[in-house]
Amino acid sequence: MLISPPWTLFNIIFHIGFAATGAFIIYSDYYDKWAALHYSKFSKGAGIPTRLGLFVIYFLPIVAATIFAWSYLPVASLIQWVVYSAVILHFTKRVLETLFLHKFSGTVDIKTAAMITTIYSIIAGAISYFNKQTIPAMDFWFYTGTVIFIIGELGSFYHHKLLVDLRKERDGYHIPQGGLFKYVTCPHYFFELVAWFGIVLLSRHLFTLIAFLVAAAYLTARSIRTHQWYHQRFPDYPADRKYIVPFLF
């Protein structure tokens, strides 16, 4: 069962507008045009320190999610708490990784930081807002979503840790090894999507599914660019690695 909101004019514009904005950003970022996101390997060298930028990017969605859940949290059901907590845990994990795990060398331009913060805050806030209405009871897919979410978060952390350990051994970028890096260029993106798919199964709202599809399209496009970047930089980069999904793509 997929929960749809009341189809008011606002909700129609909101859902279509979010999907269209996501498509525009994905197109711009892949072709490095108007709304391209300049961070990490694709930083242009000007902007704010990456650690500060990513802290803001991941912290403000926590605030947004809490604001939009505030009205029902005191009397929230267990299902509402699980959905809300999954969103909070995801972004809290990213905040903690930003502060205490990752080693950064580049910058994030202000436009990129503002765009990503806005998109993430909309996603977190909207999931919390629509969480006022939930599935009738915990079912097989809810429990499955919980397990998938945990696997996604653990897998994402593990592969981020592999990247950090590689950069601790040697400065700069090197060919990642270990875990699913043997099979794909961006396993951390893959597990990020696994975690978000878990939230889709927990929430079961149409918006959450749209947000997941936008994230899947963006991270897939980003993984292709990252794959191409590694091949250009390292002539010995493994030719048999896929982009993001092990053995498939």
> Which percentage of the chain shows pLDDT scores above 90?
85
Alpha-carbon dihedral 90, 115, 27, 198, rounded to 10 degrees: 10
Q: Output the DSSP codes for 109-155.
A: -HHHHHHHHHHHHHHHHHHHHHTTS--SS--HHHHHHHHHHHHHHHH
In what helix (H) or strand (E) does residue 158 lie, and over which residues does it extend? helix 140-169
Note the pLDDT tens digit of each residue in 184-198: 999 999 999 999 999
Is pLDDT larger for residue 169 or for residue 109?
Answer: 109
For residues 110 and 120, what is the distance between their CA atoms, to the nearest angstrom?
15
User: Which pLDDT belongs to residue 43?
Assistant: 81
Note the pLDDT tens digit of each residue in 44-63: 777 899 999 999 999 999 99
Note the pLDDT tens digit of each residue in 120-137: 999 999 999 999 999 999
Specify the pairing of strand 48-49 against strand 107-108: antiparallel
**From 15-29, 63-77, 165-179, the region with the lowest mean pLDDT:** 165-179
Tell me the helices (H) and strands (E) count for the chain, helix number first: 7, 2
In degrees, rounded to 5, the angle at the alpha carbon of residue 156 between the alpha carbons of residues 150 and 157 is 90
Closest CA to 206 of 27, 18, 69: 18
Phi, psi of 49 (to 5 degrees): -55, 140
- Token pair of 49, please? 């320190």
48 forms beta bridges with 108
- Token pair of 65, please? 């999610």
Phi, psi of 184 (to 5 degrees): -140, 155
Burial class of residue 118 (count of CB atoms within 10 Å of its CB; 0-12, 13-18, 19+): middle
Note the pLDDT tens digit of each residue in 67-106: 999 999 999 999 999 999 999 999 999 999 999 998 887 7
Residues in the chain: 249
Domain boundaries defined on the chain: 9-233
For residues 25 and 42, what is the distance between their CA atoms, to the nearest angstrom?
15
